[in-house]
Structure 1
Amino acid sequence: MSTVEVRVDRVLGGGPFCEIGRPRVTATTPDGTLTAIGGALTTPQWHARDVSRRSSPDPGWHPTAVYRSTDLTCLFHLTTRWPANTLAFHPTLPLLAIGTGRYDGGWAYEGELLLLDLVTGVTVSLLQHPREVRRLTWQDPQTLDLVLAVPCDEDTKRFGTTSLACAIRRDDWDRATDGMLRMPYGEEPYPDECPTDPADATAVLEQRLGRAWTPRRAVWAVRGLPDGCVLAALDGIAVECWTPTSPDHAWRVPSDGTGYQVTTLPSERTALTLTQTTHSYGRWTTQPSAVVEVDLDTGAVRTIHRAAAPSVMVSRADGRWALRVTEAKAGRVTIAGLAGARGRKVQLGPYRLFNHYFDIRYAPDLLFLQDDADTRWVVAVDTPHRRVRRLFPLEWDTSRGGHLSGGCGAYLDDRAGPAIVHAGTVHNGAGLLPGNAFVVRRAYPTGEPSWVFTADHQATALDVDGDFIYVTFTSGELVVLRATDGAVQGRQQLRVNGHRVVPFSLARTGANLLAIGTQDGRVLDCSIHRLIH
């Protein structure tokens, strides 16, 4: 039974169509009362970290939403395993057909044909086997015309195209069940067409709004300030500041890339935010990262510290910070401090984004993960002598034979003693299996575990207060654990206006207050309540 509940009091950075990210495709009902939009949210990965891991069944990362045309209220929202390519409202029934899919890059064209019931909100997947769906058109109330991709590469030579057309006639669309459309579909070769054009979809949204529109993107980091303000870093914005009383941001520092990490210096009104040029066409940029130093009172940029390569920022409680190069063959750590980024360099070995992310808030040391031949170690880099001090192996149970990866975490010192609480995952060669994500409390600096909480999905963010550990997951869940023994005190799906959101960042912002940054660009201003049973 839950004893703690987190309530969303304010939603910052919202607005029309915020649920769908960048639009890909749209459709409107024949009477114009509903608009459906298939979109694309920020990929759950950046150059230093991956937060895409979920166990099966995976609800997918690609959003489709249905809006009421009169006031743009989001009525239905779902995510799919593949991006939406085409949408079609049934001409007479309250149904929306959704065609998804894409080429896997090496062999198959996979996707789904989904049917969303606009009364119940239930979605069914109609095809017997996964196939990319490229176009949908209702010819009449019984007949659905489809353009599908060929199943795999070898079919391209056979048909002379990657597209096949067919028509399916049914009188039971309102009683649809999973897998009810079985092959053969009577497909014929069809000329390949240009893919969906996001510019066309954006134009439809702007016509509905009557103004220009730009989507917000993933909030990768949030941080609370003593005065109740909240800092956020996201795509296109190095850092922005929200006050406790205004629905609008107080100031904002634009970026031609993405803000990924934010920390504050303890003795100054100064924020540090790590920014990076956004990757494109599936390739990571090799442009160096930058740490932007910002005045918290005015939002003015004081200086920019430029790294030598793409990097991740690590900090400790006294304000000392460092940059670790995230290139696989590099391993340099540059130690900075209150005087700036001209620091000394330490070699820690290769960094891999799936393995070595280890961001521990409030830590008394600069903490990293370092590999030797067969062990992944938690290490501290001492200043100013650049000594690398091994603390303990990341793995505390060598009998399981798994491969542990790091994650987010925090340092605390309570009645149970000094400790770090950190998240991570166990890899057994088959992706993330149920129960292979974890949050663990470990004595500091010796590493003995005092409790372990296991989960089915990867943790995205973690923070602590005097009593509780707050953890968010890729499933959209928020879990509250008792700090001393890991007992679950609260567990809930995060929702805004009834629709599930995926949290990418979380921070304690005051007594019984949290801020949560979402994949779709919103900042949730939340309060913590103890329930009386």
Structure 2
Amino acid sequence: MSMFEARVDRVLGAGPFCEIGRPRVTTTSPNTALIAIGGAHVWRQWHGRDVSPRSRPDPGWHPTAVYRSDDFTCLFQVTTRWPVNALAFHPTLPLLTIGTGAYDGGWAYEGELLLLNLSTGATVSLLEYPREVRQLTWQDPETLALVLAIPCDEDKETFGTTALACTIRRDDWDRATDGMLRMPYGEEPYIDESRTDPAAATAVIEQLCTERGFAWTPRLAVWAIQALTDGHVLAALEGIALECWTPTSEDCAWRLPAGGTGYQVTTLPDERTGLVLTQALGSSHGGRWRNEPSVVVEVDLGNGAVQATHQAASRAILVSRADGWWALRCTAAKAGAVMLVDPNSARRRRVQMGRYDVFNHYFDIRYAPDLLFLQGLGDEPHQDKRVVAVDTPHGRVRQLFPLEWDTARGGHLFGGCGAYLEDRAGPALVHAGTVHDGAGMLPGNAFVARRTYPTGEPQWVFTTDDQATALDVDDDFVYVAFNSGELVILRAEDGAVQVRQQLLVNGHRVVPLSLACAGENRVVIGTLDGRVLDCSITALPRSE
């Protein structure tokens, strides 16, 4: 049972239609009172790590939201497993049909036809088997016209097209149940294979906002967040290297645009300078795709001015130490180099660490007394990973302890986020991770563990079903955000659960990508949809 709860006191970076990311498709109800928008969030993976859901069945992450047309209040929000291609309000009943789907890249055209009840908020999946739904039109209150994709590649020879049209007539749409539309659907070849038009959807939203005097700026994926001791909050996200929020205003103090994305943020010990790892989009040269190298930008935290830039040799991740030393670890497939950077001089030193991949080697530890990395076997770097420290300035690699602590299990563990702490129980690392299984994420295969430092013995282990996206600690507690939308607070000394709750904003679930402690009983959280949540942790009243 939770002893505390997290309350969202401020939502920074909010605005109209913030729940849907990039718009893909829109539609308006027959009486124009409602507008539905199907959108797209960024994929929850970058070149340094992967935090996409691996559970089965896939919980879905493509958003659809229904808003009031007058003030843009979000009334309903759902997520779907496949991209949203089509939306249509029922002509007389409080129902919204949602067509989703995509080609799987190798054989099948999968998707769903969903029916959202606008009275109850309940959603049902109408098709007996998964099929990509491309178009939806209500011809009358009983008749729904559909354009579906063919089931799989071999059907293209039969029909001469990948699109099939049909109409379904029923008088029980208000009593819909899962799988009630069963094959055959009486489909006929349909040559027009039109797709969604995100530009048109964007234009609709821009016009609506202009007509009603709202400013609309789409925001996406706050990948990193950091709180300063004076209450200011730093965030890095899609399209923005770094932005700064004050503790007393919902207006951004300054913002540093980026040609790509800000993925990691740390600060030097004096908190006057921030370091942000940015990554520009790749580019095509002579018909060949080229990934741009990562860049670390030194930023004056007083005014957002760029003080210096450091370009890596390739794509890289940022690793930092509490005293200000930092390093860039190359993540390119054939690279294995770590570049050590002394913040007080221009000295650089290169160390070979072995290959890196986004699932195995991410190990971002806040407040670490050493530069910490995961290193595996030379020829198979994903195997038998150990936590190692790289000493400065000479670059000696010290092996500390195996990532896997349970020798009887012998599991293949993936790395994750974490933090160093020192309390009455002694110095320790608290880190998150997952146990690999070929069937995907199995129940209980995600964990948060406290381990003695530097020897690695487990002191406690908290297990769960979903991967952690972010973790931070203070003197008493461990704060962990998960890709399921859950926030968990554990007692640092023994791992006892203090809080376990879904994160909600205005009653709708949000997915946290980043988290940082922001003073006593306060955390800030960056979300998949681009918002920053300023949260207080309050004690629940004791039951008699």
The answer to whether the 8 Å contact 1:138/1:144 transfers is yes
Once residues 424 and 82 of structure 1 are traced to their aligned partners in structure 2, the CA distance between those partners, rounded to angstroms, is 27
> What per-residue deviation string (whole Å, max 9, x for no partner) do you get for residues 43-71 of structure 1?
10111110003423432010000000010
The answer to whether the 8 Å contact 2:56/2:440 transfers is no
Letter in 2 for 1:299: G
Once residues 81 and 192 of structure 2 are traced to their aligned partners in structure 1, the CA distance between those partners, rounded to angstroms, is 23
> What per-residue deviation string (whole Å, max 9, x for no partner) do you get for residues 422-441 of structure 1?
00011111111111111000
SS of structure 2 residue aligned to 1:344: strand
Once residues 342 and 217 of structure 1 are traced to their aligned partners in structure 2, the CA distance between those partners, rounded to angstroms, is 36
Residue in 2 that maps onto 1:218: 221
Once residues 284 and 419 of structure 1 are traced to their aligned partners in structure 2, the CA distance between those partners, rounded to angstroms, is 43
Residue in 2 that maps onto 1:526: 535
Residue 471 of structure 1: CA displacement? Answer: 0.3
SS of structure 2 residue aligned to 1:178: coil
Q: 1:243 to 1:405 in 2, by over 3 A?
A: same
Residue in 2 that maps onto 1:240: 243
Once residues 535 and 276 of structure 2 are traced to their aligned partners in structure 1, the CA distance between those partners, rounded to angstroms, is 23
Residue in 2 that maps onto 1:473: 482
Once residues 53 and 198 of structure 2 are traced to their aligned partners in structure 1, the CA distance between those partners, rounded to angstroms, is 27
Letter in 2 for 1:225: L
SS of structure 2 residue aligned to 1:273: strand
Letter in 1 for 2:186: G
The answer to whether the 8 Å contact 1:54/1:475 transfers is no
Letter in 2 for 1:412: L
Once residues 244 and 430 of structure 1 are traced to their aligned partners in structure 2, the CA distance between those partners, rounded to angstroms, is 45
Deviates more, 1:43-52 or 1:400-409: 400-409
Q: 1:369 to 1:243 in 2, by over 3 A?
A: same
**Do structure 1's residue 301 and structure 2's residue 310 form an aligned pair?**
no
The answer to whether the 8 Å contact 1:223/1:263 transfers is yes
Residue 206 of structure 1: CA displacement? Answer: 1.1
Residue in 2 that maps onto 1:411: 420
SS of structure 2 residue aligned to 1:260: strand
Once residues 214 and 155 of structure 1 are traced to their aligned partners in structure 2, the CA distance between those partners, rounded to angstroms, is 42
Once residues 468 and 91 of structure 2 are traced to their aligned partners in structure 1, the CA distance between those partners, rounded to angstroms, is 43
Residue in 2 that maps onto 1:117: 117
SS of structure 2 residue aligned to 1:209: helix
**Do structure 1's residue 197 and structure 2's residue 190 form an aligned pair?**
no
Once residues 417 and 269 of structure 1 are traced to their aligned partners in structure 2, the CA distance between those partners, rounded to angstroms, is 30
Residue 192 of structure 1: CA displacement? Answer: 3.4
Residue 509 of structure 1: CA displacement? Answer: 1.2
Once residues 366 and 523 of structure 1 are traced to their aligned partners in structure 2, the CA distance between those partners, rounded to angstroms, is 28
Residue in 1 that maps onto 2:62: 62
Letter in 1 for 2:450: R
Once residues 438 and 99 of structure 1 are traced to their aligned partners in structure 2, the CA distance between those partners, rounded to angstroms, is 36
The answer to whether the 8 Å contact 2:86/2:133 transfers is yes
**Do structure 1's residue 278 and structure 2's residue 281 form an aligned pair?**
yes
Query: What aligned pairs does 1:110-509 form with structure 2 within 5 A after superposition?
Result: 110-210=110-210, 213-279=216-282, 286-339=291-344, 342-372=347-377, 374-509=383-518
Q: 1:217 to 1:108 in 2, by over 3 A?
A: same
Once residues 174 and 223 of structure 1 are traced to their aligned partners in structure 2, the CA distance between those partners, rounded to angstroms, is 48
Q: 1:502 to 1:117 in 2, by over 3 A?
A: same
RMSD of the TM alignment (CA)? 1.4
Q: Which runs of 5+ in 2 are unaligned?
A: none
Once residues 162 and 408 of structure 1 are traced to their aligned partners in structure 2, the CA distance between those partners, rounded to angstroms, is 43
The answer to whether the 8 Å contact 1:335/1:341 transfers is no
The answer to whether the 8 Å contact 1:349/1:371 transfers is yes
Residue in 2 that maps onto 1:515: 524
Once residues 347 and 326 of structure 2 are traced to their aligned partners in structure 1, the CA distance between those partners, rounded to angstroms, is 11
Deviates more, 1:89-98 or 1:259-268: 259-268
Once residues 118 and 74 of structure 1 are traced to their aligned partners in structure 2, the CA distance between those partners, rounded to angstroms, is 12
Letter in 1 for 2:52: S
Query: What aligned pairs does 1:51-130 form with structure 2 within 5 A after superposition?
Result: 51-130=51-130
Q: Which runs of 5+ in 1 are unaligned?
A: none
> What per-residue deviation string (whole Å, max 9, x for no partner) do you get for residues 323-357 of structure 1?
00001221100000213664100001000001110
SS of structure 1 residue aligned to 2:408: helix
Residue in 2 that maps onto 1:22: 22
Q: 1:84 to 1:341 in 2, by over 3 A?
A: farther
Deviates more, 1:397-406 or 1:412-421: 397-406
Deviates more, 1:364-373 or 1:335-344: 335-344
Deviates more, 1:28-37 or 1:270-279: 270-279
Residue 298 of structure 1: CA displacement? Answer: 1.1
Letter in 2 for 1:272: L
SS of structure 2 residue aligned to 1:422: strand
> What per-residue deviation string (whole Å, max 9, x for no partner) do you get for residues 194-235 of structure 1?
311101001111121117743111100000011100000001
> What per-residue deviation string (whole Å, max 9, x for no partner) do you get for residues 484-511 of structure 1?
1111111110000000000000001111
Once residues 106 and 54 of structure 1 are traced to their aligned partners in structure 2, the CA distance between those partners, rounded to angstroms, is 20
Once residues 88 and 148 of structure 1 are traced to their aligned partners in structure 2, the CA distance between those partners, rounded to angstroms, is 15
How does the TM-score come out when normalised to structure 2? 0.96
Once residues 271 and 488 of structure 2 are traced to their aligned partners in structure 1, the CA distance between those partners, rounded to angstroms, is 33
How does the TM-score come out when normalised to structure 1? 0.98
Give the fraction of aligned pairs with identical amino acids, expressed as a percent: 74
SS of structure 1 residue aligned to 2:174: helix
> What per-residue deviation string (whole Å, max 9, x for no partner) do you get for residues 465-499 of structure 1?
11110000010000010111111111110000000
Q: 1:103 to 1:280 in 2, by over 3 A?
A: farther
Letter in 2 for 1:71: D
Deviates more, 1:336-345 or 1:268-277: 336-345
Once residues 322 and 515 of structure 2 are traced to their aligned partners in structure 1, the CA distance between those partners, rounded to angstroms, is 18
The answer to whether the 8 Å contact 1:56/1:434 transfers is no
Letter in 1 for 2:269: P
Letter in 1 for 2:178: D
